Chain A
């Protein structure tokens, strides 16, 4: 099992450009999450999904969109990147079966917006 993978690992954008971050998990997990981590801020939840075809807003959703067309994939889109979106982005998933289950995290995507 590869677990949770993220593509790309690094990216540099210019202000106003768009891009999509891909998260894939091979554990058949129902729940998936996108977080951003800024220095000194901990992880903040951007959007999450409780199953294929569903998405919901987290703590800091503005400027991002997400889609979960397939159960194993969770896409995070930036339509018009801004320097404030420079951050490390982590994807996570958990099974959700039988109540609580630990979140498994991907390796992260480091995004710089100039």
Chain B
């Protein structure tokens, strides 16, 4: 499993764009990058997934450079409700239903009024 490294914590003011970068130097050819969000006292929930270049949905954007050794989760114009822990996961999308992924410590984002 490719190891991921991300900042332990970040602070941001409301209305700002937040970029959380995840490093995964040993990512394999078949690996996809997936981000989950966890609010306090809740289980994680899926945000976005990508393989390369850029992926965007209604919640966030995911930027992946050509070498795929890192990825950046971008949250536009954050609000207080975006305060949460964000996990970067790397795993083989084609391994079948069971997901061999590791949830690390994640990045604790604190949005400040």
Nearest CB in chain A to that of B93: its residue: A100
Which of B36, B87, B105 lies in contact with A41, CB distance below 8 A?
B105
A90 near B106 with CB under 8 A, answer no
B103 near A102 with CB under 8 A, answer no
Complex-state Cα separation, A44 to B44, whole angstroms? 13
A63 near B: Cβ within 8 Å? no
A95 near B97 with CB under 8 A, answer yes
Distance from B86 Cβ to chain A, minimum over Cβ atoms (Å): 12
A105 near B44 with CB under 8 A, answer yes
A74 near B: Cβ within 8 Å? no
Most chain B CB atoms below 10 A, which of A40, A102, A107: A102
What A residues does B42 contact at CB under 8 A? 105, 107-108
Distance from A55 Cβ to chain B, minimum over Cβ atoms (Å): 12
What B residues does A42 contact at CB under 8 A? 87, 102-106
What A residues does B36 contact at CB under 8 A? 103
Distance from B59 Cβ to chain A, minimum over Cβ atoms (Å): 13
Complex-state Cα separation, A59 to B64, whole angstroms? 29
Distance from A67 Cβ to chain B, minimum over Cβ atoms (Å): 18
A100 near B44 with CB under 8 A, answer no
Chain B residues bordering chain A, tally (CB within 8 A): 22
Complex-state Cα separation, A40 to B104, whole angstroms? 9
A92 near B: Cβ within 8 Å? yes
A103 near B99 with CB under 8 A, answer yes
A100 near B105 with CB under 8 A, answer no
B45 near A105 with CB under 8 A, answer yes
If A100-B93, A107-B43 touch, whether A94 touches B99 (CB-CB below 8 Å) is yes
A103 near B46 with CB under 8 A, answer yes
What B residues does A31 contact at CB under 8 A? 97-99
If A42-B87, A43-B103 touch, whether A30 touches B97 (CB-CB below 8 Å) is yes
What A residues does B43 contact at CB under 8 A? 4, 90, 92, 105-108
Interchain Cβ contacts under 8 Å between A and B, 11 examples: A31-B99, A42-B105, A42-B106, A50-B97, A90-B44, A92-B43, A96-B98, A100-B32, A103-B36, A105-B44, A105-B45
